[in-house]
Amino acid sequence: MNFASDNAAPAHPAILEAMARANAGALASYGGDALTARAVEAVRTVFERDCDVLFVATGTAANAIALAALTPAWGAVFCHRHAHVAEDEAGAPEFYTGGAKLLLLDGPHGKIAPDTLRTAAAGYSRGNVHGAQPFAVTITQATESGASWTPAEVGGLCEAARGAGLKVHMDGARFANALAFTGASPADVTWRAGVDVVSFGATKNGALAAEAIVSFDPAVSAVLPHLRKRAGHLVSKHRLLAAQMAAYLDDGLWMRLAAHANAQARSLASALTAAGATLLHPVEANEVFVRAPEALAARLRAAGAAFHPWASDGPDAYRFVASWATTADEVAALAAVARG
């Protein structure tokens, strides 16, 4: 009954098998191999267009490299107050950009409303040397509160961003889970809606350690390889990442895994609310946020269930995460304990 994090799950067997298959013979290092080329093509196919694709091993690396390509050191990036880049990445965006500021915005369920961005951006004048100079906004798909952006919502935010002269980055650590909920296509919810760069995550959804930086902006793309290598994120035996990503995308595996995780999250939500918890955010991906009576939380903990308190949602708030590996039996076991 481990609902602590989708990072606690192992890799999907098909992905590990692909890594094993890729582990034969000499291959050009640093991504100059045919397997990497195929994985890049697979990402392009998923996004329905030419784009630049760089693989890294962690989501923090993908986000920080992307943001550093979008803003100068003297710039600033808008993000949600509780965004992973702001709260959980130890200042990686500030490190990679060379000290750019994160400007924190509020909004329900981890989303930033277009008008919130417009108002905030209006508070900064381009060229004012004393104040922050925003260059980009980053949003999270699904959000830190488990909500999913629709293409229309992303489009609205991007329109506000364009109006303020900002580029748009999407942290897609749970990109597949969001798509599984909204039914949107990767293209519709990203570049067709105005997104410039995506951190396309696979790790939380069945890979072992594989993320892609996907850039639709050639000027940004030109910088990314240098930022990646300089940060030590260009993996030498690059088949490690390429094999995972190719298998992840092969035959729709990634979307099946996400759909499964989301379904388990919905079951989790039912079980918890039936036991007296109240939902704090809509369940639109693979995470469930609840306020739970202390007795319920204590009962679950006593039974060995792993889950995290969630400070940004206040007292008695908890997060439960389902993954591709979460079984219906595990959720049923939790439900049984929850019922008391």
Tokens representing 120 are 């905030």
Rounded to whole angstroms, the Cα distance separating 191 from 186 reads 8
Rounded to whole angstroms, the Cα distance separating 244 from 212 reads 11
Q: Which residues pair with 321 in a beta bridge?
A: 287
Q: Which of 36, 42, 80, 89 binds a copy of itself (CB under 8 A)?
A: 89
- For residue 227, the minimal CB distance to a copy of itself (Å) is 6
Rounded to whole angstroms, the Cα distance separating 321 from 179 reads 17
Closer residue to a copy of itself in complex, CB, 71/182: 71
| Residues from 233 through 262 that contact a copy of itself (CB under 8 A) | 233-237, 239-240
Q: Which of 24, 50, 294, 329 binds a copy of itself (CB under 8 A)?
A: 24
Q: Which residues pair with 102 in a beta bridge?
A: 77
Sign of the Cα pseudo-torsion (138, 280, 116, 91, in order):
negative
- 101 lies in the binding site for a copy of itself (CB under 8 A): yes
| Residues from 132 through 191 that contact a copy of itself (CB under 8 A) | 132-133
- 38 lies in the binding site for a copy of itself (CB under 8 A): no
Residue with tokens 């990767």: 186
* DSSP code per residue over 181-203: HH---TTTTTGGGT--EEEEE-G
- 275 lies in the binding site for a copy of itself (CB under 8 A): no
Q: Which of 37, 106, 108, 131 binds a copy of itself (CB under 8 A)?
A: 131
Rounded to whole angstroms, the Cα distance separating 308 from 6 reads 12
Closer residue to a copy of itself in complex, CB, 45/327: 327
- For residue 83, the minimal CB distance to a copy of itself (Å) is 13
Contact string 205-224 vs a copy of itself (x = CB under 8 A): ---xx-------------x-
CA 96 distance to own-chain centroid: 18
Rounded to whole angstroms, the Cα distance separating 231 from 254 reads 28
Q: Which of 35, 53, 57, 249 binds a copy of itself (CB under 8 A)?
A: 57
| Residues from 281 through 320 that contact a copy of itself (CB under 8 A) | 306, 311
